[in-house]
């Protein structure tokens, strides 16, 4: 069997060799060899950090030649992106006890809500207020649907947030919900609320493009679990919203999604469309996903409230897989309580995503904060810049929390104790390369739109072929140590306020995090949002969002809207 380019890549993927360190002549030698040779092994062992003698190299070469043949046999098996690996990540450590009692959800019933003369005035209202308009039949679902569809069509040319309008589906669904209301059936606070889906969630009858040219015509003939559950709750899907190509950045095959506060810049990613559309009042709420910042980052950039739930809280069935051990799905809304209402609709096992646990979510909008142990990440808040100054926005966020709950508990989180970037690089890159193995080997990865501000996915996928399997496993073993350290750090608290220095840590450990608008800074004389960050215990979203709700009620930053898109 000739050792062609694909076989060569497969072999050196096993051996851990980076092509950037190979003499160029080795490519020519490899392409002419019938088998892997000891000379190839000698080159590869440099990257593996090992040294063998000639006899050992001969033995390795024979074994690797057999491996190459095995790789070819494995590749004969079709592996669509939806197939999950048999090895699964679990953020719950041995001995952890999770709650089991589910109590009735208690959410805010907005009092005295009245329909304005111009319905578009409600475009920026939180779900809690929109829900009261619908419940009292002052506004019908079809009216809200048409209002938001109109705003999407009016503003998309400026923001580039829409991949596909699902107008036909939305109108049919809204009409059914109108009829239910008139017949006395009210499904709950999401009944008739229009929403937008990040375009990695499957919706039957519409393309699911993953933001990338190779998949722009992809049709998946089923609904993602999240779509099914929001349908059941009465929410109305009105658009598939943009995402950075294959969940990176804010550039997709149609251009760059824009920030409503400053349309000359991008909206961050990869949940670019959900962040921008929610901030601009084009949807009632949106659903995003996060592997390593893709909810938190666009929530910060666009000034919305974004919740990344605990890993294993929401089913990912019907969502594009990037990293099976790190992908999460969560709401992007206008308030913390909105996030609670959406999370309650989409959480829990579905029998299709094997990592999802059945853990109660006991949202109570009136729970006393005295029942919740709240901490602050002291050393992170005390960090200074080159001029010796602390971040004034972080300090203001902390001061607001201290006014609400004096005597916060000091905690130290393990952000400096372990090589978090190295763990992420070994885990995320390898899993992403496996998820898009066929794309790389077919050379269709060249169709991915490059993001000049980031390393491109094609390079990441290619480089990951050369990460030794042993290093991937050991990175996950170190990840276990990080999870144990995080559990010790969170032992005496339920919620922690922190600067946004924990994003990598919490994505690796699976802890939930919520990003809240926290004011504005100026870039080139333009106000742009900044955020405050809170993290919770595993499956502790109810406590996390209750504290976030109290902080928002005290600060009011979440109620501000981008001037160019206001009504």
Active-site positions read: 198, 270, 294
Helices 457-464 and 420-435: crossing angle, nearest 10°? Answer: 100
Tokens, residue 387: 């001029």
Euclidean distance between CA atoms 462 and 428, whole angstroms: 13
Euclidean distance between CA atoms 146 and 238, whole angstroms: 9
Tokens, residue 30: 């490899």
Give the dihedral of Cα atoms 334, 248, 354, 360; nearest 10 deg: -20
Which residue pairs from 86-92 have beta carbons closer than 8 angstroms and sit at least 24 positions apart in sequence?
Answer: 88/324, 88/325, 88/354, 88/355, 89/311, 89/324, 89/325, 89/326, 89/355, 89/476, 89/510, 90/312, 90/355, 91/310, 91/311, 91/312, 91/483, 91/509, 91/510, 91/511, 91/538, 92/312, 92/357, 92/538
Question: How does DSSP assign 343-383, residue by residue?
Answer: HHHHBB--SSSTT--------BTT--GGGS-EEEEHHHHT-
Q: What are phi and psi of 184, to 5 degrees?
A: 95, 10
Euclidean distance between CA atoms 494 and 378, whole angstroms: 16
């Amino acid at each position: 069997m000739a050792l062609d380019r694909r076989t060569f890549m497969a072999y050196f993927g096993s051996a851990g060799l980076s092509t950037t360190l190979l003499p160029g002549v080795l490519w020519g030698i490899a392409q002419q060899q019938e088998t892997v040779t000891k000379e190839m092994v000698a080159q590869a062992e440099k990257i593996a950090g090992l040294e063998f003698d000639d006899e050992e190299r001969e033995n390795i070469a024979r074994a690797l030649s057999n491996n190459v043949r095995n790789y070819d046999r494995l590749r004969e098996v079709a592996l669509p992106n939806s197939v999950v690996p048999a090895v699964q990540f679990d953020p719950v450590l041995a001995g952890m006890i999770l709650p089991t009692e589910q109590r009735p959800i208690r959410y805010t019933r907005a009092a005295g809500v009245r329909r304005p003369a111009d319905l578009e005035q409600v475009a920026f209202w939180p779900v809690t207020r929109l829900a009261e308009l619908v419940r009292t039949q002052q506004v019908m679902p079809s009216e809200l649907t048409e209002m938001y569809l109109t705003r999407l069509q009016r503003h998309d040319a400026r923001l580039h947030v829409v991949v596909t309008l699902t107008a036909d589906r939305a109108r049919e669904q809204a009409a059914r919900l109108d009829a239910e209301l008139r017949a006395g059936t009210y499904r709950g606070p999401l009944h008739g609320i229009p929403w937008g889906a990040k375009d990695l969630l499957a919706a039957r009858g519409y393309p699911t493009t993953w933001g990338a040219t190779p998949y722009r015509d992809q049709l998946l003939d089923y609904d993602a679990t999240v779509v099914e559950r929001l349908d059941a709750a009465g929410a109305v899907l009105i658009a598939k919203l943009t995402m950075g190509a294959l969940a990176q950045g804010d550039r997709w095959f149609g251009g760059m999604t824009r920030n409503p506060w400053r349309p000359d810049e991008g909206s961050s990613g990869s949940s670019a469309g959900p962040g921008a559309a929610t901030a601009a009042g084009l949807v009632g709420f949106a659903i995003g996903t996060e592997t390593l910042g893709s909810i938190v980052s666009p929530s910060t950039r666009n000034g919305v409230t974004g919740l990344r739930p605990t890993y294993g809280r929401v089913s990912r069935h019907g969502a594009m897989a990037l990293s099976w051990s790190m992908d999460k799905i969560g709401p992007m809304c206008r308030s913390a309580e909105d996030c609670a209402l959406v999370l309650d609709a989409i959480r829990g096992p579905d029998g299709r995503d094997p990592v999802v646990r059945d853990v109660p979510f006991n949202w109570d909008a009136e729970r006393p904060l005295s029942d919740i142990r709240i901490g602050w990440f002291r050393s992170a808040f005390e960090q200074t810049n080159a001029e010796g100054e602390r971040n004034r926005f972080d300090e203001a966020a902390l001061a607001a929390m201290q006014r609400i709950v004096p005597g916060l508990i000091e905690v130290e989180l393990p952000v400096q104790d372990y090589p978090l970037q190295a763990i992420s690089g070994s885990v995320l890159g390898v899993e992403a390369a496996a998820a898009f193995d066929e794309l790389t080997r077919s050379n269709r990865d060249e169709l991915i739109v490059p993001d000049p501000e980031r390393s491109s996915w094609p390079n990441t996928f290619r480089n990951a072929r050369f990460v030794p399997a042993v290093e991937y496993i050991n990175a996950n073993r170190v990840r276990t140590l990080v999870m144990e350290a995080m559990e010790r750090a969170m032992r005496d608290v339920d919620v922690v306020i922190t600067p946004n220095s924990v994003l990598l840590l919490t994505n690796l450990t699976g802890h939930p995090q919520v990003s809240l608008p926290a004011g504005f800074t100026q870039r080139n004389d333009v106000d742009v949002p900044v955020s405050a960050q809170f993290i919770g215990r595993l499956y502790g979203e109810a406590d996390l969002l209750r504290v976030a709700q109290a902080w928002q009620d005290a600060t009011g930053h979440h109620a501000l809207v981008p001037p160019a898109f206001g009504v």
